[in-house]
Structure 1
Amino acid sequence: MPTAIYISGLGQSANKESVEKYAVRYIKELEYSTSGIKYYTKVEKVYYNEDLSSLAVRIFQHPKEQLKSDKDTLVYTFYDFEYNELLNQKFQNKNLVAKNLALLLLVVRKFPRIIASLFKKTTYTKGGQTFYMFLIFLIMATAIIFLLPSIISLFKDYPIFKGETMCYLSKIGQFTIPITTFLVLFIPESSTLLTRVAAEFTTIDNYIQYGEQAQIIQGNLDALIEYIVENEENPNIHLHTYSFGSIIALDALFPIGTEPCNNILNNIKLLITVGAPYEFIDNYYPNFYTDRTDKMSEKIEWINVYSTMDAFASNFRKDNEVGNAEYGIVKNMEVPLNLNYEIARREKYNLFSFLTLKHITMHQSYWDDSKSGQSCTRLIFNKMKELNYFSITT
């Protein structure tokens, strides 16, 4: 029986998304593909390891003219894998100044490579947009630090702050408040950059650079897969991943210096990545994908959904054009099946679009908040049906 694990994005990418919404989108595609059949879901919360839980969303089908019954056919099951809180918890406990200082240090540390990527020819073709994004991060993070001298001016009556020291700090404060006000008013999406994007990029950096929480996250995913193997009948497991969730999945399938567990080797048959930031990470963290084990290369099929307008999505090509993937991760043995998904014509994007970070916000364009709107789900569903990963009784 086909069973899926849904691994969402991180931070902004996961905003207002859930496994239940994801399953409803598949129900809509099932209904468009069949006649005389009704589909519905049953949701169950399961505990797969002590206090670790997952929502199991089961999709059933039955004839339209009949009522729901225990004899209805199970079509597909989605389990969600939650890792956001675990990856974010240390960062979220910090105050605003500490968060922005972390973001500032990250950008400063990465800036030489960011500059170099503008001139060095690599498979990552969107360095200009990400350079602009990192420049905004630098400005916004610095803006909060600029406010500190104006806070010190509140203590001007204390002896320690009298004289030349206070005069110097007051002059700095006269400039920092207008600069910060200007940035907040005119930098695109500044109200969310400091809270969400700072958290997303610093936690991703900690995961990739230092392996922070990586072992426990991968251990939890192994535990969920074990639960599915033990509780589902002959499961063929599919990984449905979005944004940073695809990096979590790739780490599990192609680990560093070790083999995947037997449950992964024997039961995972399909990987689906949507907006996978593989090339972005490979460009700014060039050693992250080295020394990977290739045991899963011939065991899985890989469907990759991308938009050429998405600054983070990978098309696994040496250009930013629509077409078949040209390489994979480990020795190019697992080249994905590319599916292009666009919601706007490329020629409509201009300098204004670039300055307003349209290429960044396109990372959230694969589906909207509504369950009923069009999305990339149709492309995925049709490809899964073509490859016989969906068994539909008509």
Structure 2
Amino acid sequence: MKIGIYISGLGISKSNSVENYAERLKNEINFNTNGYQYETKIEKIHYSKNRESTVVSIFEKESPENPVYKFYDFKYNEILTEDFKGRTLIYKSLWLFALVIRKFPLIIKRIFIPQNYSKPGQLMYVFSIFLILSLSLVLMFPAVLEATGQFFSKESGKMTELRKLIPIGDLKYISMKGIFIDLPNKRYIGIDFNWFSKLIILFTALLVLLVPNANTIITDLATNFVCANDYLQHGSKKQLIQGNLEHLVDYITENEKGCKIHFHAYSFGSVLALDYVFPYGIKASKNALEYCEAIVTIGTPYEFVNSYYPEFYNNRQTQPGDQLQWLNVYSAADALGSNFRKDGIAGDSEISFKGASNKPFNINYEVYPIGKFSIIDFIMLYSIKVHDMYWDENTEGQSCLGLVYQEMKGKGLM
């Protein structure tokens, strides 16, 4: 029996659910089979006291008791974000701002020393947007206090400035309202903090009013980015996540006799799958060595992680070796998806997981012709948006699973 463990990307969305992933694979089986119609069945199981998994079976209509493939999903998002999710927006913004500032020197360094990462310029642009978003919300708080103070002030702005000026040098003064230079006839010019506060309030208000679900987007962005960074940088929640994944694998091996396990992992989920089959500091588990037959990584940010968290993949156990078949789906236009090459073009893999003997079998999937550099595409973050284009939100649309199914069938994985 072939069993797939599906590990989604960061965040929780219906598009990335195991139900939709299984539905897409079922459609590909139907497209490639003459005279047979396949359906799916969904159920829930508890693999430990507090954790559940959604199980989707793909079966032929005439033989519902004999599934041809079965998926279990591994839900890690709640585990990864549980300590951060309940924080206030200002707290999350401060953490996001601090993280971006801390990472910016390395972001700039990668512009000149990319280390096989093909789109460092696009990532720097994205980080600049993160910086603006987080800074606007961080500064919103003192700006509101400043505006409130002005509202209750009984004196005019000029009188307040004149009474609170403090000399900080020749003809230069500072007050709670700004920094000014003394001019003849008791006139002042300089930076008006009052004007800056109003600008910040205006920008943030426009952001909230014009961008759909801006508050939710920024909150989710901060939560996912900060928690993913803590996992990669400090190993936060890693033991708990990997322990729960081992519980799920153990449940499957005990209840699915004679099974062979395949990991199907998208985006950050592939980081967790690679952590399981190529663990750090310990040997691969008995379950991993005996039952794990294949891994399918889709849009895996391997080169991104290797470039911006250079210690993360060091000193890994690579014992599964060539017995583990590895299919890697990527788009050359995707700023995060890895092609395991020394360049950013489509082709066979040239490098592998650090120390591993088996190179991934590359599957190139493109939804848009790759042309010359376009400043419009750069500004509109096309190479980031491509990361979400391995399938359409509607399961009836085309997806990369058409190519995945063909390769799995050819390699005896289905």
Same fold (TM over 0.5): yes
Paired position in structure 2 for 1:122:
115
CA-based RMSD: 2.3
Using the TM superposition, give the Cα deviation of residue 201 of structure 1 relative to its aligned residue in structure 2, in angstroms.
Answer: 1.3
Which of 37-46 and 107-116 deviates more? Answer: 37-46
Q: Tell whether 2:4 aligns with 1:4.
A: yes
Q: What residue number does 1:240 align with?
A: 264
Matched residue, 1:53: 52
TM superposition shift of 1:180: 3.6
Tell me by how many angstroms 1:326 deviates: 0.6
Give every structure 1 segment of 4 or more consecutive aligned residues whose post-TM-superposition deviation is greater than 3 Å: 155-159, 162-172, 178-193
Q: Which amino acid aligns with 2:311?
A: N
Match of 2:221 among 178, 197, 201: 197
Distance of 1:282 and 1:187 partners within structure 2: 33
Match for 1:167 among 162, 166, 177? 177
CA distance in 2, matches of 1:284, 1:37: 48
Q: Secondary structure of 1:271's match?
A: strand
Q: Return the match for 2:144 from 139, 143, 151.
A: 151
Which of 88, 97, 109 is the equivalent residue of 1:104?
97
* C-alpha distance 15-73 of structure 1, shift in aligned 2 (>3 A): closer
Does the 8 Å CA contact 1:2/1:236 hold for their aligned counterparts? yes
The answer as to whether partners of 1:140 and 1:190 remain within 8 angstroms in 2 is no
SS at match of 1:141: helix
1:274 counterpart = 2:268: no
- SS of the aligned residue for 2:241 comes to helix
> 1:1-394, aligned counterparts within 5 Å?
1-11=1-11, 14=13, 16-62=15-61, 68=62, 72-152=65-145, 153-156=147-150, 157=152, 164=164, 167-168=177-178, 170-181=194-205, 193-347=217-371, 350-390=374-414
Shift of 1:176: 2.0
**CA deviation string 1:292-331 (max 9, x = no partner):** 0111122201000000111100000010011000111132
Residue 65 (structure 1) aligns with: none
Structure 1 Cα separation of the partners of residues 376 and 218 of structure 2: 22
Unaligned residue ranges in structure 1 (runs of 5+): 63-67
1:38 offset after TM fit, Å?
A: 1.6
5+ residue gaps, structure 2, are 155-159, 165-174, 179-192
Measured in 1, the distance between the counterparts of 2:210 and 2:342 equals 35
- The equivalent of 2:190 in structure 1 is none
SS in 1 for 2:44: strand
User: What CA distance in whole angstroms lies between the structure 1 residues aligned with 2:212 and 2:49?
Assistant: 43
What code does the residue aligned with 2:264 have? H
Secondary structure, aligned partner of 2:130: helix
TM-score (norm 2): 0.87
SS in 1 for 2:84: helix
TM-score (norm 1): 0.91
Secondary structure in 1 matching 2:126: helix
| CA 1:349–1:250: 2 relative to 1, 3 Å | same
Take 1:24 and 1:93, find their aligned partners in 2: how far apart are those partners?
Answer: 33
Q: Secondary structure of the residue that 2:42 maps to in structure 1? A: strand
Query: Matched residues in 2 for 1:124 and 1:348: separation?
Result: 18
- Evaluate the alpha carbon distance shift between residue 193 and residue 116 of structure 1 in structure 2; reply closer, same or farther with a 3 A threshold: farther
8 Å Cα contact 1:136/1:187 also seen in 2? no
Deviation of the 1:348 alpha carbon = 7.3
| TM-superposition CA deviations, 1:49-105 (whole Å, max 9, x none) | 11211011111114xxxxx566x5320110000001111122211111111111111
Identity of aligned residues (%): 40
